[in-house]
Every structure is written in C-alpha cells, then in structure tokens.
Structure 1
C-alpha cells in the first residue's frame, strides 16, 4: 500500500539542529489484556534470494556483513498477520572481537544481536497498550497476531526478516540438540557469543552433564494496575508482566553466565536463548555496538546495576538508566559523563530528533502527548532508515563527518558536555566538538 510521506524541516528550539517530521497513520495501539495462542506460520517458503553472509575480523572488530536473507525455509510472507515481503538488506554489524565485561549492564535498545546466518535478533515489537504509556506487548504472547513463522520471525516494512524468539530453522541447520552443548548461533551487540538452550550443568567444567539452561525471569504475582493501565493478571501479554528473580533459574539478569563452551574452552561470558521468557536476552553484560541500536527497548525489565528499560507509567522515550552507554554517550572519547564541578547539562539532540529532551521536559507534556511524540519519533527514524543508504546512516550517526567548520554539522560543542552552558547555548562558532551524535533508530516490528 502506498503511503504519502510529508517531510517537514524544522529548527529544534534554540539548537539549530534540523529535525525531520514524517506523517504516517496512527501508531499501533491495542486494548488486548490477555495472551492468546501464538499462530506460527509453517515453513513452506524458500527465499527467492540466496543467503549471503560474511564474517571477518578487521582490527579489533568482528564484522558481520549480510543480505539478511535466512538460510532456511520461512513462513509465507506476506500473510494475514504480516503484510510485508522478505527482501535483501545491506546489514553491516561491527562488534568487539575481544569483548569485555562493562562496569554496568545496559538495556537493549533495538536488535540484541545477529545470528551466524546474518539475520538479526530483534525481540521487541512496536505494539503498545492504548492507555498508560510503557506497556509494550510481548510479540510471542499471541495477544497480537504479528504473522510470525515457526522460526519465531517475521518481516518489517523495509523487507527485513528478523527473529523474535528461538530461530527454529537455524537451530535445526546447526544441530542444536539435547545431550550436547549448543553450537554458536550468533553474537550479541557487545561481542559476546550467543548459544541456544543447552549448556554445561557446571559452567566451569566441560566434562559436566549438558542440561537445558533456564531463565531467572518469572511472571509477577497478582494483578496489573488497571485504570488507564491494563488490568487482568500478569500473564505474559506484556513485557512488563515479567520480573527478574535472582537464583530462580540458571542464568543471570542478562540471560547469560560466565562459562566454558566448545568454541571458548578457556571460558567466556555467553548469552543463552531459553525456552522461557525472555527467550532472546534483552540486557547486555558488555558495551553494545551502536550498529544494533534503534527504537524502543525490550521494556520494563530491570538489571542488577539499576539500569533498566521503560516500565509502566513511563513515556515511550529514551530509557534513563545508569548504563555505560548513557554515561559515555556525549563525551568525545566515549568516556566520562556530566561536567565536573556542576550539574549535568541537557543531553544534546541527535540529527533527526523531533524534540530535544530538555524541550520535552520544559513543555511539561502530558502522558498522551509523550506517547504521540514517541510514535512520531519512531516514524521519523523508520522512514530515515528506509531513505538513507548504510553509508549515509553511518555518517548521520557521526555528525562530526558532515564537513568543515561552517558547513552543516554538529553545533558548537556538540558532544562536549564541558562546552554546553545552557539549553540555548551550544557554544560559539569555531568551537566545534569532536563527539559523535546519537544513533539513527528504527522502530522494531
């Protein structure tokens, strides 16, 4: 279905940064409050384009380049729950080849990682409750029919095929089976490996029996708040229906553990997809690559360091946890945080951001306005992702590359907390910062 796109250039208040506004039908909001039966489409379709993926070590990075087409049969797309057709993509993901544990865990904001066949793991969904913001639907709950196939995958409007849960077709191809440790199935955005279901009962001993590893997330007891929020029992319809209960399963809050594996006999931190929620992990133990970042995160799950995704009652905007990424976001060298000797400055807007955070706060928007603004921002990001080439998206993510002083680019001091004196003062001409702007985000489907 063709869609009329209206692009309006506007000056973000007192910043000089151009934002892009795109008109689109209303966001996908629902009133369902109970889970249903997940209708998985059978794998009857062979992709017309062959799978293409290249994985190589370049410098300190592992670079995964792919066309995003799976190497297994899929459900029929389009179908009555998903109107999109699989098409070749230009995925380029860079993750640390030798990742390390970060000081803090970081909530997922976009794709969690990428499979060895080049298809991304993208467990979140752009479906929300039509009421109090923050209630994001769990796509595997069956509450909303999203046209998911037996590999727990479907297709975005851009033609991107992506996994929301256990990638059955891939798992069968690499022979994940009981009695043997799972082979490597992918890499998380922070560079640590991803496995599926089976691991050693003693994570330090490769001679120990293999078992199904279990998640430590549980359904919350009791009833949801009701009122403008959904009512009913916490049954898994929403991401926020779950909570982490330490020690209730084998894995930590990131759905991982430090363990030996067939590929890492000396030990590594590793993530495991599980048969229980969250299935695909949603919190990072290391520092995630920005190549995977877009749109709203996995919603409402709290990690051990205090960082968390959005929860009920919070606007569907940027999560504000104390993550390493949030601390480092605007420092030119990727380290630091607020300016020393005073309170933190407002976070500078990224190119394409409709309204800066300090403007949103100053306007004292209602929850309904925040929800509409969030939906508009998701639309802008989604449309920009379709319009721009991968190279242009990379340039947009690094505004310091927009040209010499005086050309369009980051305002003075952009990315420099020590040069931002007020929400309306981004420095003087000729005093340009070297920091990187915020990432281009796309709404998950």
Structure 2
C-alpha cells in the first residue's frame, strides 16, 4: 500500500521527497530542524525528512511514511514493476505545441577551475502538454546550479551514467537518458530502455517529459533545441550542452577527419548494436529475444560506428580548434551517452529519494 506525505497542503509521494516545493525549502534556509517557520500565512516547523536532506517547512497535517532503507540507499528511487518483455521500439509522443511557461534563463561563468551553469530549466522551444496520460506532472521552474570542470581531463576508466542526468543543454534543460523502470521491479540487469515503448512515459516531440519536481528533461534527441540551433548535415554541430565531467556535447554531425576542419562533415554513428539471440529465462529473467526493450539488450562493438563506448571521440570543433574529447548525441542507441570519459561533477550526483540533482539553491541576479 502506497503511503503519502502531506507537506504544506501539498501531497507528495515518498519517492518525491527530494523534490518538495521550493517554498518549503526556502522557508527553512539558515534554520535548524525544530525551528519555527512560515509559508505565506501558515505557520509550521522546520523538519528534516531524511538524513540527506536539509530541513523543510512543514505546515498543516503531517503523516510521514518512512521509505524502506533499500530504496533510500544512495538516493535511489523505488524500482517500478513491469512485465513487458518485447516492444515495438516506438514511444508514443505528445505533440510539442505548448509555449514555455516562462522565459528560459541560463548563465554560464568561469569561476576558478569550474564552469558554473545556472538555469531555471525552462526550454526555449515548445513542449508537449503536461500533465498527460503518460506523465502526471506539470513543468515548473528549477534552480539548477552545476559546476563542471572548465578544463576537463580524461579519467583512467569510464564511469557509468546510471540513474542521473548526463549533462545539461545550453538552454538549461538536463539530459537524462535512463529510467527507473525494471522487469518485475528487481533492480539489476533488466532495466527498461526509456524510449523502447515498453513503458509509456508521456514524452513529447522533444523526447522529453517531467519529473515529480516539475523538472522538464530530455530522454532522447532534443528535436526542438536542435531545430532552434539549426543543426544540419551541411555543417559541424553547434555546441548542444555540457556533460557532467565538463566535456562538450554535440549532436549528429562532426568532421570526417577528427583533426581536420577542412574535411567533409559526416553523421556520427554509435558503435552499439542489439544483441542477437534470446535472453535467459531462469531465475526471474525475462526471456524473449533481444530487441532493445531493455538496456542490457545492447552491446558495444568496437569500430562498428564512429564513436567509442561513451558515444564520444577526440575531435577538433569550431569551439575547440585545438582539439578536445567530445560527446555526440546520435540517432541510434544510446542517443544520449551512458558513460563518462572524465570524472563527473558531484553536483550531478543524485539527491534523496528520487535521485534528481540537488544543486545549491540560489536566486538569479
């Protein structure tokens, strides 16, 4: 039975504890747990709802449902249970015909060794209707503040993206390739691919939808953003965004010769392929044949495409004529990279419960 937490007249599922309304957090800034607080005309008390979270202002009726420890560990969301084994590879999309709820705001500065990205998470392009039948949340402004290395370096080994944002677009909307959806709800190998169509997620034409905290985010190619940036096969992709490890993100097109800007522009291709054969059936494994329904249906085949296992390569770009490692969004899986070649910033580490980023709160200047 699902329990609920009532906070300041807002009903929040336990999985959303990391995304309480901003007013509840702001009302307790600088205060300790147990202090008095107020939201509008309502008085309340600052309480710490989890070990990892700052105090929030709780008013009205309070009924705390404790999250099982295995779901709280490492800020992970509860695994949702599904039984679908095969899918058509098509995710139904909601038409992106709604104007942004407000102006997109993003500021990028260099502070010492960091590139600091502050944004309100609102796109510059139209979005789908939210809530919708596949996604019950509405878009709300965010207060992102991410620090990524201004001079990123390759690490000795790659780091899986797992359930966190891979990076953030130049319009301030995050790239989030993964979904917290598992076969039979058993965490492990058989996690559903977000856009396989096996689980309806209510994404719009930008392959984006909304988290419980109102965060609009991309699960696939951000078509509206690419259109506004005029990404075409005739020229190298403009900068699309920044990965959590500080390396730049481009989309679809780059130079044919990595280090020669005079060569033709070519489409970049992933080196991942769907495995052949059938999945195992023993010990609660799904069975069926590999078709892209699950993330584990894919395998990396070195040299099969133009990109490495993290969907990147060392290249010259218009922004970095001296050369740099760069990621590319592709039409083929994984579309958004699933691993980092550098060291990801701790600012992208998942927060409590839902595991969404918990950057420092700060108003725009």
TM-score, structure 1 normalization: 0.63
Q: Name the counterpart of 1:2.
A: 11
Task: Note the aligned Cα RMSD (angstroms).
Answer: 2.6
1:154 pairs, out of 206, 209, 217, with 209
Q: Distance in 2 between matches of 1:214 and 1:389?
A: 33
- Mapping of 1:380-419 within 5 angstroms? 380-382=352-354, 390-391=360-361
**How far 1:221 moved relative to its partner?**
1.2
Q: Specify which of 284, 296, 315 is matched with residue 259 of structure 1.
A: 315
Work out the CA distance in 1 between the residues paired with 2:224 and 2:52. Answer: 41
Q: What is the CA distance between 1:2 and its match in structure 2?
A: 2.8
Deviation at 1:391, TM superposition (A): 4.7
Q: Which has the higher strand share?
A: 2
After superposition, what is the alpha-carbon deviation per residue over 1:17-72, rounded to whole angstroms, capped at 9, x for unaligned? 95894379974210001123211111111122211111111111111100101111
Distance 1:4 1:86, change over 3 A: closer
Q: Which residue of 2 aligns with 1:230?
A: 286
Equivalent of 2:134 in 81, 89, 106: 81
Structure number with higher helix proportion: 1
Residues 86-135 of structure 1 show CA distances to partners (whole Å, capped at 9, x for unaligned) of 00001001001111111111111311111001111010001111065321
Residues 131 and 229 in structure 1, CA contact (< 8 A), matched pair in contact too: no
How far, CA to CA, are the matches of 2:174 and 2:231 in structure 1? 19
Q: CA deviation at 1:390?
A: 3.2
Q: Deviations over 1:134-162 (max 9, x none)?
A: 21111111111100011110000100000
Name the counterpart of 2:57: none
Instruction: Report the CA distance shift for 1:3/1:99 in structure 2 as closer, same or farther (over 3 A).
Output: closer
From 138, 160, 165, the equivalent of 1:111 is: 165
TM-fit CA distance, 1:226: 1.6
Describe the shift of the 1:201–1:38 C-alpha distance in structure 2 as closer, same or farther (beyond 3 A).
same
Kept in 2: contact 1:113–1:188 (CA 8 A): yes
Segment of structure 1 superposing worse, 131-140 or 99-108: 131-140
In structure 1, list runs of 5 or more residues that go unmatched: 8-16, 296-379, 393-445
**Selected match of 2:254 from 199, 211, 217:** 199
Q: The residue matched to 2:109 in structure 1 has which SS?
A: strand
Match of 2:110 among 52, 57, 60: 57
The SS at the match of 2:314 is strand
Alpha-carbon distance in structure 2 between the residues aligned to 1:126 and 1:211: 34
2-side partners of 1:3 and 1:133: how far apart? 24
Out of 103, 127, 145, which is 1:92 matched to? Answer: 145
Alignment of 1:262-281 (within 5 A): 262-281=318-337
Aligned to 2:192: 137
**Which residue of structure 2 aligns with residue 166 of structure 1?**
221
Relative to structure 1, is the Cα distance of residues 182 and 389 closer, same or farther in structure 2, using a 3 angstrom cutoff?
A: closer
Count of residue correspondences: 298
> Where does residue 283 of structure 1 map in the other structure?
339
Return 5+ residue gaps in structure 2 as ranges: 1-9, 18-49, 54-65, 72-76
